[in-house]
Amino acid sequence: MVVEMNDYQTDTFCKRIYSTMYNNLRGKKILILGFAFKANTGDIRESPAINVARYLIEEKANVFVYDPKAKEKDIKDMFPSVTVTDDPVASSENAQAVVICTEWPQFRTLDYKSIYDKMQHPAFLFDGRNVINLEEIEKIGFITRILGK
């Protein structure tokens, strides 16, 4: 039952990304923040980010991934077309969206203003883990969608 609920939430989250971005992800650069199952681990098994990445790739998005501990090899073995990065701010250059999939504490304090400034506009931020301060992020200029809100 829990697995079915998690799959449902992830599916709903992916559909929200798609519909918010004008029903077209083809060729759009999307940066996923967090690929590990949970913060403070590099374990990607059963991570919701797997289904999110799969969905984005199927919709022909250009997917970039930043995770502080998940191994690049593990991610690339699963998704060869994904670009794994070690710098989320630099990797936001010309991105259309940021998608938060793991509740890493450092995602609460990222320089979202610098990220926004590097992105194409409108710039979207999708938070699947309720990590961000919604008011602050929207003041910067992001169009936001939060899972569960």
Segments making up each domain of the chain, as ranges: 2-146
**Per residue in 5-21, pLDDT tens?**
556 788 999 999 999 99
Least confident of 7-16, 62-71, 135-144: 7-16
Predicted local distance difference test score (pLDDT) of residue 4: 58
For residues 69-78, give the mean pLDDT.
Answer: 97
Range 2-146: architecture per CATH: 3-Layer(aba) Sandwich (3.40)
Between 9 and 2, the higher pLDDT residue: 9
Are 117 and 92 in contact by the 8 Å Cβ rule? The answer is no
With a threshold of 0.85, does the pTM exceed it? yes
Give the contacts of 21 (CB within 8 A, at least 6 positions apart): 28, 96, 97, 124
The C-alpha atoms of residue 114 and residue 2 are separated, in whole angstroms, by: 37
Q: Is the dihedral of CA 103, 129, 27, 94 positive or negative?
A: negative
Percent of the chain at pLDDT exceeding 90: 89
